[in-house]
Amino acid sequence: MRRLTLALTAPALIALSLPVSAQSTFERMETVSETMGALMNEAFVAQIPALEGNMPDPEWDDTLRDAYRCVYDRYVGLAGEDAVETMVTQMEEMVNTVDPASLIDGTAPLEQPEGVTDEDGIAIVSECGVMEVFMTRMAESGAMGIMMQQQ
């Protein structure tokens, strides 16, 4: 569950255009999340070819950025800045070698920051509205309807 929760909170979570030291941890989280979102889209399309061209853009908009800012702030409140920075660094390292399918099947080597339990992560993602934003984006892009037809 921990892996699935982080995959959803950080897809959604890498070639950084600026040196790591020039970006805040939150900016790095956004970059890696967008990269992971693109990889997840790739994995979904590989499983359901009809999704091609119908997946939401993994780039963060203001609504998603606000939801992730809430997650980030809550993580920092529970675990501290250093633990969240370590999590982001691990995500940056992992994203270069991860099998995209593992991001959607829950087997990607993703972990919550030290000090954040699985239960905390699930609550934070829910309370901050991340899943709601993703579900809305999936519906608006047409991906949700296509996925429902496949079942």
Residue 84, C-beta contacts closer than 8 angstroms, at least 6 positions apart: 25, 29, 72, 75, 76, 113
Identify the helix (H) or strand (E) that includes residue 24: none
pTM for the model: 0.79
Confidence of residue 103 (pLDDT cuts 50, 70, 90): confident
Mean pLDDT of the chain: 84
Mean pLDDT across the stretch 43-54? 93
Residue 5: pLDDT over 60: no
The more confidently predicted of residues 107 and 79 is 79
